[in-house]
Structure 1
Amino acid sequence: MAQRIDYYDDPSAPAPNSLVPSVNVVVTNEAGDLLLIRRSDNHNWALPGGAIDLGESIPAAAVRETLEETGITCEITGIVGTYSDPKHVILYTSDGEARQEFSIVLTARRIAGEPVPSQESREVRWVARGGVHDYQMDRSMRMRIEHYLGSNEPYVG
């Protein structure tokens, strides 16, 4: 199975060969819990999200990716921030693509559906805000969630 490997400020990281605009979504339910997926490609927990397709707006991509990965239909409500640190390189072993990080993180609320795994998500669950830190995730994903939980201003980085 193809894998995703995240590198941060690592001299052994491959040189980036692509830059793909993507989106992640902090989806909350009525109780304020966060929607997390356990990725199929690296087994880490993460916010739902993925690449923005040509002809697609940022909010439309966020809603589509969330539904595809989780079974949850959401409504976009705001922005957490932008993440484009060139020190973060993501290697996809299936084709040798090495992406420089480029992600916009939005907030959303659940409007329908129940958590259902997909090809991209081995598990999907609602997690209480206080329990998020107990889940294994890449440092960049943890940083995005911490920005959501602790800041009133959008992060630009």
Structure 2
Amino acid sequence: MAHSHMDHGDMGHGDMDHDMPMPMCSMNMLFTWKTENLCIIFESWRVTGLWSLIVTLFGIMVLTAGYEAVRDASRRYEQRQAIVLESMPRNAVADQEGKGKVAKAAFYAVQVFYSFFIMLLFMTYNGWVMIAVGVGAFIGYLLFSGSSASKSAACH
């Protein structure tokens, strides 16, 4: 069925004002303190003023501290897994080790993804964002470093 004869020219789109330009995300390749049109990772995560900057920086600190929580959860899982394996009969250890390896791989994948996300935050080259990442890592380490730091920070 050919629809080439139908006129779709006036389907309610004529009232849209296309003259008003939308602000563009600023992309910096050099260090800066500017926050005007600063987009964090996504175009929708945009700093538009002082309050959005404060909320953004707080969110970045929470995200970065969360990375330390994931690292700590991974370490605690490995410690619990070692205790469980020691208490098991030898013939059941191999099956439990396989399950443990899958869980450890999942923890590792989450940590890699998380660390690259934090790296992208840092790559805004914005001083305020960089400081928030550092403060978040500091807070996260204070809160979640109950065990020794056996793993290095992947990308931050």
**Which interval holds the TM-score relative to the shorter structure?**
under 0.3
Greater helix fraction, Structure 1 or Structure 2: 2
User: Which structure has the larger Rg?
Assistant: 2
The TM-score normalised by the length of structure 1 is 0.22
